[in-house]
Every structure is written in structure tokens, then in C-alpha cells.
Structure 1
Amino acid sequence: MLIGLQIRDVVLIEALDLSIGPGLTALTGETGAGKSIILDALGLATGARGDAGLVRRGAAQAVATAAFALAPDHPVWDLLEEKGLAYARDEDLVLRRTLSADGRSRAFVNDQATGVGVLKDLGEALLEVHGQHETVGLLDARTHRPLLDGYGDLRAPLGRTAAAWGAWRDARERAEALKAEVARSAADVEELTFRLSELDRLDPREGEETELAEQRAVLGAAEKALADIGVARDAFDGLGGRVASAIRALDRARERAATAGAAADGPAAMRLAAAAEALDRVLVEAGEAEAAIDNAARAFDFEPDRLEKAEERLFDLRGLARKLNVAVEALPSLRVRFAERLRAVESAEDTLKAADAEAATARAAYLAAADALSRARKAAGDLLAAAVMSELSPLKLDKARFRVAVEPLAEARAGPAGLDRVAFEISTNPGAPFGDLGAIASGGELARFALALKAALAGRGTGPQPLMIFDEVDQGVGGAVADAVGLRLKRLAAPTDGRPGAQVLVVTHSPQVAARAEAHWRIAKAGDDAKGDGRVRTAVEVLSPADREEEIARMLAGARITDAARAAARALMDA
């Protein structure tokens, strides 16, 4: 909902701040007072074409700012995200446009500089204009299908169609990816077979490179290690004999000491015994050490060609890894992948048949869902056409005929919304062919037709209602037709089944239309430009109920307002 419009230096408006409420707001005033300037300023803020002639004479630039209060689920927030603009769903959306006297223009969204095209996209989502010279919204055929779907409450068949579309799309993508993979593998089958045979012959194992590298290092050092062990072994040669000889010499020394009368437990005998025992231990440990050295030597006792074989194996592994442009550690897993790809080629026919069958089943399900949606759309279209036709006669469009064309699209244009082209079409005279809404020549007729269509759509779940602007929709009609226009504008702005009504602005010269409004603005010129000093200004007065009665009486009676005119005004307002 538009909640505020701030205008600075636009044509005859020097400074104007308007607060706008819900429901129907009427703008009245004498011709040339500047009612259209307010709409021009709103258009400027929402991306309409900006002309330097909009800048007030003598001003450097014109500025128009429009503030909107939107529901958190309004589609405009998603549009802002798409455009990369910061926003907060619990705050107002503020659109601002500046237009300098030399025609240069700048655009802002929540004080973030952006392009005028972004304002235009936002404006298309926020408001519709229906008037004598311009109709924006319903002439865009892209809006017709969503409007029809909302009118017919087709959320359920739409959801089924979208889900079926997603399943079909995914199945097709899987089948196409499989075909591409099989095609690549089939083209490489000879190369795959040869590489796999190399890998099978070599039979690489996990961690083998590290194991072989360690083994080569050990084997390379084995010869020197054996030489060092030999030196150690040589050091023990004859050690046992010398120790035994030393033990025998100690035994003779003990015998001589005993012969000389030394006591067996005397100091000399005890020390000789201790020395003999120590030599016994040396003899035993020397034997053990010699055995350990021999055992260590056997650990380096490799086959003569074992080092050569390890180096050859390592060379072969690294050579194949270089050829395949992978690390040696990746060879075992690469062997598995090559084998799987070959098996996929061999079983490709069955796999592709299964994938194609899945895609065909998903396609059939989608076409069935799309067909059901199409039938529901045609039924809803007939109801909408009947509802619009019932609105045309009171609006002096009784010769016109309206229909909703639901035509099939080629399967190549399938999508989540089905396979239908939806267009609102009209025939303006009996016997004339149906055509798009732009075939209505008169701007006033087109605006009234838009009102008829909007009145038929009102309250039927067609999504967030934009701000609707009707500019002199009552042009050329009066009496009962003008009353019918006012009644439908009132109905369009009224809440329905707990849902808020549309916010509607109507520029009107008809007292019957103005009397139906909840709010009433009177636009008038202020000042005197007789001397050409540019002092004429457009002023806007928000009317109280009493002032509304006087304004509607003026619209009925003209310059001289009578009591009868005031009574007629009260009657219109009370109707």
C-alpha cells in the first residue's frame, strides 16, 4: 500500500507531502488544476519516463518520493533481493527519483542508488494505471495467466503440475548426463582397456610405494652394514681361547698358593676365585654376544638381486603414474574407476533404457497434470468471462464481448506453470473479431473495461493487489453509468472475506464517483501568473466530510451551489 507521496518542484507543485490511506481516494478539481501532476510525480517515483518539462520553472531539479508499506510475503522483496538491494521486510519501501532541468535522472531505493529500470520493475509490481492516455498492467499479457489462476483458485493443480515438471526435468537431466558419460566412455573404451590391462599387469597395492622406498633404502645400506658387522665379529675371534687360557692360569695360581700354605679362605685365595668367576662370566657373555652378532648378520643376508627387483618395481609404478598423470598412491583407485567405466559401457544399453523409461514416465505424469490444469483454466476462464460480461453493460460497454483464450503451447515451452498461453481478449463491436485488450481504441473505454475486469477479479485470491489508479475513468459518461463506475470502484476497494481490498486512486469529474470515496482530495491552483512570474502553484486540500459535501455539490451545480445541490450531494454520499 502506498502510504506517502512527497513532491518537490514538479511542474506547478513547489512542495507537497501527502499521506495516503487504504480504500478509495478521489481526486477532484477544475480542469487544469494539476490533478495529473500528482500522478506524474507518482509515475516519476516508480520508474515512468521522466521529461525535463516536469521540473518546475526556476527550480534546479524535481524530486518525487513514494513510500510503500508492504506485507512480509510481498513479491517485491524477492525482486529487491534479485537486484542485489538491501531491505528489511518489516520496514517501509521508499522509492525516490530526482530529475534535473537538463533531463538527467537519478534513482534510489531505500536511499541506495540504482537504475531507473529497477524503479520501473518495482513500479510494475506495485501499481497499475488505467486512464485516458495510458493503461499499464492489464495490457501486459504476462499478467493474464497468474490473474486467471488466482481467480480460479488453481493452487492445487498448479502445485501438482510444478511438482511433475520438477520430476520430469530431473529425470531428463539424469538420462542426458548418463548418455553423455556413456558417450565419453565409449569413445575412450580402447584406451580404457589398454590402461586397465597395464594396471592389472602391474597390480599396484595401497602403500606400496612407501614400502618399496623403505626397502630400497635398507637394501642399499645392507652391504656396508654387513662389513661393519664383520669387523665386530672379527673382534671376538680368539677371545674365547684367551679367556679360557686366563682361567687356567688363575687355577694354577690358586694351586701354588695352596701349596705354599695359603688358607683356602684367605684373602689371596678369595680374590683369585673372584677373578676366575668373572672370567667365567666373560666367557659366557662373549659367547652370547658372538651369537647376537651372527644373528644380526643374518638379518642383512638378502637375495643377491632383491635390491634390483625393488628398484625395478618402484620404477615401473612411478612410470605408469607419470603416464596417467596421477600419484602412485592413486593407481589402485584409478584401476577401480577404469574397471567401473568399462562395466558401465558394457551395461550402458540396459542403464540407458531404464533412465529413458523413467524420463518417459515422468513426462507422461507432467503432461497429465498439465492437461488437468489446462481444463481447470478453461473452466475458470469461462466463469471469469461471464463475470466480466455482467459488468460491461452497466459501464456502457454493452456492445463489447470478452473471453479468456487458453491455448496450448508447444512441448518445447513446457514449464512449471503448465503448457498454456492465457490471454484476455475483447471484441468491441458485434461481429468484430476478438483481439488483445489494446484493440480498444478509446482510452475511457479501456479504463472502464479494466475496471470491469478488476471488479470481476476482486476478492478471488489473485495475490497482493497493487495500487490501482483510474484517471478520468468516467470520461464521457454520466448519470447511471457514472454511478456504476463509482459503485465498482467502491467494491474494488472494499475488504472481502477477511482480505483487504485494493487501494484505489481515482481522478474524476463525476460527483457520483467522488461520493463513493473514503477519502477526498481537492486540487486547485493558488496564486496569480498574470505577470508571468511563475507564482501559480497547485495546492491539495484533504476534505472533511462537510467539505466533501460542498465539493460534490459544486460538481453537481457548477459555480452557484444551491441547497438542492447540497441535498443531492448528501444523498449521493449516503447511497
Structure 2
Amino acid sequence: MLSELRIRNFALIDRLTVRLGPGLNVLTGETGAGKSIIVGALSLLLGERASADVVRAGEDRASVEGVFDVAGRDDVARILDERGIDADDDGLLVLKREVAVEGRNRAWINGSPTTAAVLGELGRALVDLHGQHEHQTLLKRDEQRAILDAYAANAPLLSRVREAHGTAAGLRREIAGLDARRREAAQRADFLRFQAEEIEAASLRSGEEEALEDEARRLSHSEELQSISGGLADAVSGSERALLHEVGALRRQIDQLVRIDPAQGDVRELYETAYYSLQELGERMERYAAGIEHDPRRLDEIRRRQDLLFRLKTKYGATVDEVLEVGRRARAELDLVDNAEWELEGLRKKLAAAEAELGAAAAKLTTARTAAMKRLSGEVCAVLPELGMSGGAVFRAERVPLDAPGAFGAEEVEFRVSLNRGFEPKPLSYVASGGEMSRIMLALKTILARLDSIPTLVFDEVDAGIGGRVALQVGDKMRDVAGTHQVFAITHLPQIASRAHVHLLVRKGERDGRTTTDVLPLEADNRIHEIARMLGGDPESAVSLEHARELLERGVGV
């Protein structure tokens, strides 16, 4: 239940606190006093998109704060727990929204920063706000279907239908994608086959380019390499004047040095290391020189191979690895042509099973909706006379079958009404005026309220287009709804205002040279005078005052 609404610097409002109670709360006042502004502020608090235009002229920011009694609301506790927000032990929930003139907006829950989206999620659990614009939404089949499903508690069945539809839709996309790739591959089959066969015939190997380049370099410089390595072998060990013989002659001097000074014994190890390293160098150069080949044919083969690699890279990629990848992709696409039909057949079988599941789930939903349509039609028809729509007014919820089940089932839902006996019911948009739409909406709200867990219902001038005895009936019905829900209504009708448990007057004033809006709770004589004003004529006349007393006595007593 919404217990308090605090508004600061919002439109015409300077500072305003609205205290609400259980039951039917009505907001009345002269046209332009700011009644709808208060509902607009509540909409902002509950997650509606913010605009800097709502900030009162001359101020930096506007804020709206609401205090809700959520004791025992496990769904609200769950939302708070999922967001890591602490709930108050006294069962109060404080929501706050702030809009700055530069466009920035912020939100809080129990003092913890949050987002407008989270406020909206909580708002949908706490308040059902019905404004004049919703007359148009009620004309839409989607909204009518949602109302029927809420009435029938079809959420589990609807969830199964959506899940089955999602599975089937996913399989259809997969089949379409695979088939498109198969057809594209089939159209390119000759080109792909040429690519794959040309690349595969080349027997490419990763890293081949570098190996060929190294071998070609050696073959093209074979004479130079043999001359250098042979010269090194001769210099190291190929003659009596070679380095190895010269170093060998130093052995006696090393031995003599160590005999005289044993502390230099490690010199012998250094000498031996140098000697054997020279010996290994000479042998290696000798083997290298002997192994060098002068093979012009092999060099020609390498050059031809390099030319082939160059041509393939020019056509298919900058490196051999990229060329190999092109070949793999081409072969994979060709395999797709050969194997796709088998894969498609498997997917089609899965799709058939998914569509069967969708059909079965949709059929169960249709059965539930058909039964609910009959019940809802009967209940609305029973309520309409209580709202002044007698004389044979008929309401029907009808199913409009679809060609195939969709995400919301196998049918659309359409509300139809006949306001005069003997006429076939037609869609709401064909026959209902604004006032009649208000009463049909109130009839639906009356019925759904018994099933609805949302504690607060807000009606913004839902009484448009009605008056007289019908207004009395509407007021009585709103008071009935207020027996199970908190109802907050803006009204111009004294018949409805007289039924309220809490009557609030919105009054425009002036403070420090600026227009302001105030809200005053009305009791006893003050309330009688306001009802008299709403009746028209002279609000101070004895007739008007007596009429106001009669309305109040019939409604709630004074």
C-alpha cells in the first residue's frame, strides 16, 4: 500500500506531501489545480522515462519519494534480495527518483542507489496505474490477450508455448541457414572443386617456404661454400703449419709451467679444451666441404616449386598456411553439398517434434483460454448493469484463430461488446465511447482485482464521459474494489468523491509570487463544501450543501 507521496519542485508543485490510507482515496479540485501532475509524479517514481521538463522553473532538480507498506510481500522481498538491498524491519519501502535540470536522473531504494528499471520492476508489483491513455491500449488485441491470460492464470501454459515456439523458431533458423549455405556451395561447386584440387595437388606443407629458401641459398652458393669450408679445414688441420699442429707444440711448455708452479694446473685444462675444439672445427669443416653438392637440377626444381608457391599465394593468400586454409574451407563447403541433405533431414525431424510440442502446448492453452473466455464474459456481463450499462449490454471475449501457433499461442483474443439488445457484439473500437470504455475497463479491473496481487490501483479520471446515476454506480463499484485493494482515483464527479474513504483536495495557490499546488485532507464540513462545489451551481447555497450531505450519507456517512 502507498502510504505517503512526497513531491519537490515537480512542474507547478513546490513542496507537497500526499498521505493516503487504505480503501478508496480520491483526489478532487478545480481544473488545472494539478491533480494529474500528482499522478505524473507517481508515474515517474515507478520508472517512467524522465524528462528535464518536469523540473519546476527556476529550480535545479525535481524529486519524488514514495513510502510503501510492503509487510508480508515476499515478491518484493525477493526483488530487494536479488539486488542486494536491505529491507526495513518495519515493512516500509522507500522509493525515490530525482531529475536534474541538465537531464541527469538518479534513483534510490531504501537509500541505496539503483536504476529506473529496478524502480519500474518494483512499481509493477506495487501499483497498477490506469490513466486515460489506457483506453487506447484496451483496444489492442495484445492487451486483451494479456488481460484474459491474467484472469485465467495461464502463465505456466504460456511459458510452455513460448519455450516450444522458441525451440521451433531456432530450428527453422538453423535449417534456413544450412540450406542457404548448401545452395550457395552448390552454385560454387565447380569453382570450389578447382580450388581444393589445385591446392591439394600441390601437397603444400606448413613452413615449406623457409626450408626451400634455405636450400636454394646453399645450392646457388655451393662453390663458394665449398671453398670457404675447405680453406677453413686446411687452416685448422690440413698441413704441418696448420693451427692444430702449432697448438700441439705448446703442450710441452704448458707441462713445464705446471711442474714449476702447480697452482697453474687449470691452464692444462684450458689448453686441452682449446686443442679439442680446434680439432672438432677442422673435422666439421672437412665433412661439410665433402658434403656440398653442385646440383643445378635440384636448384631448378626448387625454383619451380617456389614459382608454384608464389602463384598459389597470389591467388589464395599471403602465406602457405593461408593457402592451406583456403583449401580446407573449399573442401568443407564441398563436403557440405554432399552431407547437408543428411543434416537437414535430421534437423527437419527435430523441427517436426518441436512443432508437435508447440501444437500440443498451444492446444492446452487454447482450451484454458476458451473456458476462461466464457467465465470472463459472464462475469463482465454481470457487472455491466451495476455500472449503468443495462438494456441488453453484452460483453464477449472471443478467440481469433491464427494460421499457425506463435509465441503467444494459436489465437488472438478480441473483446467484443454490444450496447443494445438485438445487435451482434463487435470489437470495442467499433462501438464503445470514452465513457463506455471507462466502465468496461472498471468492470475488468473489478473482476481482475480479486486475482491481482498488486495492492494499489490508480485511476486517472477513469470516470470521463459519465454522470448522474451511472456515476453513482461507478462510485459504488470503485468502493467495492477498495474493499480488497487500495484505490487512488482522480475524479471530477461528486458521486464518486462521496464514496471515498479518504478525500483529498488539490488547490492551486501562490507563494512568494509563484504558483503552487497544495493538497488538503477534507473532513466533515470542508468535505461537504467540496462536494457541493463539484455538484455545480452555488456551492454555498443550502440546496447544494444539502445535496452534498445526501451524497455523503449514502456513500460513507458524515
**In structure 2, do the counterparts of structure 1 residues 212 and 439 end up closer, same or farther at CA, with 3 Å as the change threshold?**
same
**SS in structure 2 of the partner of residue 359 of structure 1:** helix
Q: Which amino acid aligns with 1:485?
A: V
Is 1:308–2:310 an aligned residue pair? Answer: no
Matching of residues 47-446 of structure 1 within 5 Å: 67=64, 91-93=95-97, 110=105, 127-130=129-132, 135-232=135-232, 239=240, 292-301=284-293, 303-398=295-390, 399-411=392-404, 415-440=406-431, 442-446=433-437
**In structure 2, do the counterparts of structure 1 residues 197 and 566 end up closer, same or farther at CA, with 3 Å as the change threshold?**
closer
Number of matched pairs: 472
Is 1:509–2:494 an aligned residue pair? Answer: yes
Cα distance, 1:226 vs structure 2: 0.1
Match of 1:270?
none
Q: Which amino acid aligns with 1:542?
A: P
**Alpha-carbon distance in structure 2 between the residues aligned to 1:472 and 1:504:** 9
Cα distance, 1:41 vs structure 2: 7.6
**In structure 2, do the counterparts of structure 1 residues 326 and 145 end up closer, same or farther at CA, with 3 Å as the change threshold?**
farther
**In structure 2, do the counterparts of structure 1 residues 379 and 319 end up closer, same or farther at CA, with 3 Å as the change threshold?**
same
Structure 1 residues 390-433: Cα deviation after superposition (integer angstroms, max 9, x where no partner): 1112222122100012111233xx54222322121110001112
Is 1:518–2:501 an aligned residue pair? Answer: yes
**In structure 2, do the counterparts of structure 1 residues 191 and 438 end up closer, same or farther at CA, with 3 Å as the change threshold?**
closer
Structure 1 residues 83-116: Cα deviation after superposition (integer angstroms, max 9, x where no partner): xxxxxx98534689xxxxxxxxx9968389xxxx
Matching of residues 545-564 of structure 1 within 5 Å: 547-548=526-527, 559-560=541-542
Structure 1 residues 507-536: Cα deviation after superposition (integer angstroms, max 9, x where no partner): 3211xx334323212357889xxxxxx999
Q: Which amino acid aligns with 2:494?
A: H
**Alpha-carbon distance in structure 1 between the residues aligned to 2:291 and 2:413:** 90
Structure 1 residues 148-195: Cα deviation after superposition (integer angstroms, max 9, x where no partner): 111111111111111011101110111011111111111111112112
**Alpha-carbon distance in structure 2 between the residues aligned to 1:448 and 1:62:** 40
Match of 1:542?
521
Q: Which amino acid aligns with 1:209?
A: E
**SS in structure 2 of the partner of residue 409 of structure 1:** strand
Q: Is the 8 A contact 1:34 1:524 kept in 2?
A: no
**Alpha-carbon distance in structure 2 between the residues aligned to 1:311 and 1:44:** 83
**Alpha-carbon distance in structure 2 between the residues aligned to 1:554 and 1:154:** 47
Cα distance, 1:285 vs structure 2: 11
Q: Which amino acid aligns with 2:520?
A: E
**Alpha-carbon distance in structure 2 between the residues aligned to 1:505 and 1:395:** 18
Match of 1:17?
16
What TM-score do the two structures reach when normalised by structure 2?
A: 0.69
Q: Which amino acid aligns with 1:17?
A: L
**Alpha-carbon distance in structure 1 between the residues aligned to 2:58 and 2:383:** 44
Q: Which amino acid aligns with 2:435?
A: G
**Alpha-carbon distance in structure 2 between the residues aligned to 1:350 and 1:306:** 49
Is 1:39–2:18 an aligned residue pair? Answer: no
Q: Is the 8 A contact 1:151 1:462 kept in 2?
A: no
Q: Is the 8 A contact 2:97 2:106 kept in 1?
A: no
Cα distance, 1:482 vs structure 2: 5.1
**In structure 2, do the counterparts of structure 1 residues 130 and 198 end up closer, same or farther at CA, with 3 Å as the change threshold?**
closer
Is 1:3–2:5 an aligned residue pair? Answer: yes
Task: Point out the more displaced range, 337-346 or 419-428.
Answer: 337-346
Q: Is the 8 A contact 2:393 2:419 kept in 1?
A: yes
**Which of 491, 495, 513 does residue 480 from structure 2 map onto?**
491
Query: How well do the aligned residues superpose, as a CA RMSD in angstroms?
Result: 5.0
Q: Which amino acid aligns with 1:363?
A: E
Q: Is the 8 A contact 1:185 1:345 kept in 2?
A: yes
**In structure 2, do the counterparts of structure 1 residues 41 and 136 end up closer, same or farther at CA, with 3 Å as the change threshold?**
farther
**In structure 2, do the counterparts of structure 1 residues 369 and 335 end up closer, same or farther at CA, with 3 Å as the change threshold?**
same
**Alpha-carbon distance in structure 1 between the residues aligned to 2:102 and 2:232:** 94
Q: Is the 8 A contact 1:240 1:286 kept in 2?
A: no
What TM-score do the two structures reach when normalised by structure 1?
A: 0.67
**Alpha-carbon distance in structure 2 between the residues aligned to 1:288 and 1:475:** 115
**Alpha-carbon distance in structure 2 between the residues aligned to 1:107 and 1:394:** 50
Q: Is the 8 A contact 1:474 1:482 kept in 2?
A: no
Q: Is the 8 A contact 1:554 1:560 kept in 2?
A: no
**Alpha-carbon distance in structure 2 between the residues aligned to 1:301 and 1:535:** 106
Match of 1:266?
none
**In structure 2, do the counterparts of structure 1 residues 464 and 343 end up closer, same or farther at CA, with 3 Å as the change threshold?**
farther
**Alpha-carbon distance in structure 1 between the residues aligned to 2:372 and 2:227:** 102
Q: Is the 8 A contact 1:493 1:504 kept in 2?
A: no
Task: Point out the more displaced range, 302-311 or 315-324.
Answer: 302-311
Structure 1 residues 70-93: Cα deviation after superposition (integer angstroms, max 9, x where no partner): 99999xx9xxxxxxxxxxx98534
Q: Is the 8 A contact 1:489 1:504 kept in 2?
A: no
Query: Taking every aligned residue pair, what percent have the same amino acid on both sides?
Result: 26
Cα distance, 1:63 vs structure 2: 13
Q: Is the 8 A contact 2:27 2:35 kept in 1?
A: no
Structure 1 residues 208-261: Cα deviation after superposition (integer angstroms, max 9, x where no partner): 2222223223333432110113334555666499x99xxxxxxxxxxxxxxxxx
**In structure 2, do the counterparts of structure 1 residues 219 and 440 end up closer, same or farther at CA, with 3 Å as the change threshold?**
same
**In structure 2, do the counterparts of structure 1 residues 559 and 383 end up closer, same or farther at CA, with 3 Å as the change threshold?**
same
**Alpha-carbon distance in structure 1 between the residues aligned to 2:458 and 2:279:** 110
**Alpha-carbon distance in structure 2 between the residues aligned to 1:386 and 1:181:** 55
Q: Which has the larger radius of gyration?
A: 1
**SS in structure 1 of the partner of residue 556 of structure 2:** helix
Cα distance, 1:43 vs structure 2: 6.5
**In structure 2, do the counterparts of structure 1 residues 430 and 220 end up closer, same or farther at CA, with 3 Å as the change threshold?**
same
Q: Is the 8 A contact 1:550 1:566 kept in 2?
A: no
**In structure 2, do the counterparts of structure 1 residues 334 and 445 end up closer, same or farther at CA, with 3 Å as the change threshold?**
closer
Query: Structure 2: any 5+ residue segments left out of the alignment?
Result: 49-55, 80-92, 108-119, 246-274
